Amino acid sequence: MLYVVTSDKSLDQVCSDLEEAVVAHKFGLMATHNLRETMAKKGVSFDRECRVFEVCNPHQAKKVLESRIEVSTALPCRISIFEEEGKVKLATMKPSMMLGIFEAPDLDSVAAEVETSIMAIMQDAAG
């Protein structure tokens, strides 16, 4: 269900490279969440570094939403970048698995296309 890529780059560099890869693959960056900063604003100490990027290909999202509007609960796609055991990792939930929850076989090809793009975005950012 999870797709994880490891990088030898710094977390900041991977984040920067991810933003470029998102655009290169014709996706849009909708939001970025720095979990440590967000939790600190709420008075909660969280020592780990973790950033969550919400990305979307609007053409693919439209196809999915026109078919099954309830899939909106699983959009946009999210890519997390975090440090673990001295390495920077990128992780996402596979779109094919997410859409499988909605039992919409008519969307399998869209999910496969999005999944291929998300994996390429992550590989580009990590490489």
- Whole-model pTM: value is 0.93
Angle, to 10 degrees, between the axis of helix 58-67 and the axis of helix 108-126?
150
Residues 5, 85, 96: CA angle, nearest 5 degrees: 30
CATH number of 2-126: 3.30.310.70
Say whether pLDDT at 105 is over 90.
no
Please tell me the predicted confidence (pLDDT) of residue 57. 96
Name, of 99-103, 104-108, 115-119, the range with top average pLDDT: 115-119
Mean pLDDT on 54-77: 94
pLDDT at 44: 96
pLDDT band at 104 (very low <50, low <70, confident <90, very high): confident
Query: At 70, is the pLDDT very low, low, confident or very high (cuts 50, 70, 90)?
Result: very high
Q: What is the pLDDT of residues 76-93, one digit of tens each?
A: 999 999 999 899 999 999
Measured between alpha carbons, how far is 110 from 99 in angstroms, rounded to an integer? Answer: 10
Write down the mean pLDDT value for the chain: 95
- Residue 117 CB contacts under 8 Å (≥ 6 apart), including other chains: 25, 26, 27, 57
Condensed to tens digits (0 to 9), the pLDDT of residues 19-61 reads: 999 999 999 999 999 999 999 999 999 999 999 999 999 999 9
> Domain locations in the chain?
2-126
